[in-house]
Structure 1
Amino acid sequence: MRREIEIAPGVAMPLLGFGVYRVPPGHQTERVVGWALEAGYRHVDTAQAYGNEADVGRALRSSGLSRDQVFVTTKFSAGRRDPEAELERSLERLGLETVDLYLVHTPRGGPRRAWPAMESAHERRLARSIGVSNFSTAEIERLLPAAGVKPAVNQVQFSPFRYRRRLLESCRSHGIELESYGSLTHGEELDDPTVADVARRLGRTPAQVLLRWAIERAVAVIPKSVHEDRIRENAAVFDFQLSGEDLARLDGLDRSGAAAIAVERPWWTFSARARAAARRLLRSPLLRS
């Protein structure tokens, strides 16, 4: 059963990754990444904005795994000035010489602004591949004519409830792979009757069904949890498949209207006060899975 996809020449990305968005920096990040690596995850997704790159690096070093056994992604915070210099700092925090994938976190400042320095970082082999996150079809189309190296990946919010068909099709037509965040809908849709029914029939958890739905489309997923049992459960997605009927039922849950956009509420356009309020909300224990 397929476990990885080629995103650039010689660069294979595991379809199952572990995300550390909203995992508090420090011991907790180091601990949960360690659990994920023990559970078989071989892809870790972090970002400069998360503030936990150093903790990810410590977990990698403590794992006993060789560098080529773990695919590492980080992201450039588009509010900062220089993607190349910021990647050098990220590598210091991670304790690595290169990352496997470096993404522009948002199209803030315009879809082309960061790309020349992203390409320079790639040319220097600070990143084995480069890509974008939260880019719509229109933003991809604006970037491509100016790109000497096309984005390998576009990481976006993607699930049966946000089944962005037009964005997926557009990216694929340009040879860009889609990667999903928010696959588990922050827990909001795990009790959806259709998801629950498919999970019950297969003897799986709703989370496993949602992750498998994306993997069936060769869309990588990066679920996050701070609970060891859930981390292990979420890794068990390669020993079952969804039937055509299951996929059709889950496809029918889409509320995006087959969108060509990456996210309904682009938080990077909010005011500083609104962003601070959103960060406080996201740190609430009630939202942690």
Structure 2
Amino acid sequence: MATNLTVDGRARVLADGNEIPLLALGVWQVPEGPETENAVRWALELGYRHIDTAQAYRNERSVGKALADSGVPRDEIYLTTKFNPGGKDAEVEAQRSLERLGVDYVDLYIIHWPQGGPTWAWDGMQRAQAAGYARSIGVSNFNVPELDALIAVADSRPVVNQVQFSPFEFRRELLDACEERGIVLEAYSPLGTGRHLDDPRVGEIAARLGRTPAQVLIRWAIERSLIVLPKSTHRERIDENGQVFDFALTGEDMATLDSLDQTDGTAAARESKWW
């Protein structure tokens, strides 16, 4: 599988030529205000350079405040937000996101889920990209037929598909389909919102390596050259979750983790829809 990793192994080159860091801080379910501001500020202090938010999270203002207060130059931070398809026009909503974030552009703008069908919002996404509001555009929670329907009408193809993905949700057919189409898979909820941390097989690998279960689960995605978005609001865990580039999993470790899949290697992006 061609991965198009950068020389340092910490980022991947997308189909449009832009580079995306493999590790990101996700801020789903983190409320607007100090909790989001602190998480983003700590992540940047600890070396993270990719922050992932969304219009539907309602915390873009806090993300933007933390970015501004961090002192890290804007061009050193990879910033993702997502179009809420409850809105009518992705270009208009991109402008509003930029105002809340206090930035001139986002690096990646994603359709958050395929509400109303996979193609209707793409014109607005392309207009947002053409206007310079977003450097790259992509999707989230899209299955293979939805990706193909979109590709068929797209002038600018989606470069990422962000889905729930971990050893326990190892959507192998979806991953293969994305790679075949030049789309990078992004793994959200890699820790299963904490559910996966207590699995004894993950714990056994972590104990042998002297690592945390979270680090093992995140590393599993890194080994596959996927973008991975662990979320935490605790500084020490944000720090630990970032320490994943100085060790490797063996082939046996990867096979053990692969065997934890509970989706039968599905090509589906979701087991059930929330929209």
TM-score grouping bracket, smaller chain normalisation: over 0.9
> Matches of 1:236 and 1:102 in 2, distance apart?
27
> Matches of 1:61 and 1:8 in 2, distance apart?
29
Matches within 5 A, 1:274-285: none
1:33/1:59 contact within 8 Å kept: yes
Matches within 5 A, 1:169-188: 169-188=176-195
Letter of the 1:124 counterpart: A
Matches within 5 A, 1:256-271: 256-268=263-275
1:78/1:108 contact within 8 Å kept: yes
Q: Deviations over 1:34-88 (max 9, x none)?
A: 0110111100000000111011011011111111110000000011111000000
Residue 40 (structure 2) aligns with: 33
Match of 1:79 among 80, 86, 104: 86
1:52 aligns with 2:56: no
> Matches of 2:233 and 2:25 in 1, distance apart?
11
Residue 213 (structure 2) aligns with: 206
1:121 aligns with 2:128: yes
> Matches of 1:82 and 1:216 in 2, distance apart?
37
Q: Which moved more, 1:38-47 or 1:2-11?
A: 2-11
User: Number of residue pairs matched?
Assistant: 268
- TM-score normalised by structure 1 residue count: 0.91
Match of 2:253 among 216, 226, 246: 246
Residue 156 (structure 1) aligns with: 163
- TM-score normalised by structure 2 residue count: 0.96
> Matches of 1:206 and 1:113 in 2, distance apart?
40
> Matches of 1:7 and 1:99 in 2, distance apart?
15
Gapped regions of structure 1 (runs ≥ 5): 269-289
> Matches of 1:254 and 1:138 in 2, distance apart?
22
3-state secondary structure, aligned to 1:128:
strand
2:24/2:50 contact within 8 Å kept: yes
1:2 aligns with 2:9: yes
Letter of the 1:66 counterpart: P
Gapped regions of structure 2 (runs ≥ 5): 1-7
Residue 111 (structure 2) aligns with: 104
> Matches of 2:34 and 2:269 in 1, distance apart?
32
Match of 2:30 among 11, 15, 23: 23
2:139/2:162 contact within 8 Å kept: yes
3-state secondary structure, aligned to 2:31:
coil
3-state secondary structure, aligned to 1:178:
strand
Query: How many Å apart are 1:9 and its aligned residue?
Result: 3.3
Query: How many Å apart are 1:191 and its aligned residue?
Result: 1.1
Residue 281 (structure 1) aligns with: none
Query: How many Å apart are 1:142 and its aligned residue?
Result: 1.2
> Matches of 1:181 and 1:265 in 2, distance apart?
16
> Matches of 1:130 and 1:189 in 2, distance apart?
30
Match of 2:201 among 169, 194, 201: 194
1:135 aligns with 2:142: yes
Query: How many Å apart are 1:31 and its aligned residue?
Result: 1.1
1:8/1:129 contact within 8 Å kept: no
Match of 2:223 among 216, 229, 250: 216
> Matches of 1:152 and 1:165 in 2, distance apart?
18
3-state secondary structure, aligned to 1:267:
coil
> Matches of 1:72 and 1:193 in 2, distance apart?
35
Percent identity of equivalent pairs: 56
1:211/1:237 contact within 8 Å kept: yes
Cα RMSD after superposing both structures? 0.8
1:132/1:155 contact within 8 Å kept: yes
3-state secondary structure, aligned to 2:13:
strand
Query: How many Å apart are 1:176 and its aligned residue?
Result: 0.4
> Matches of 1:38 and 1:10 in 2, distance apart?
27
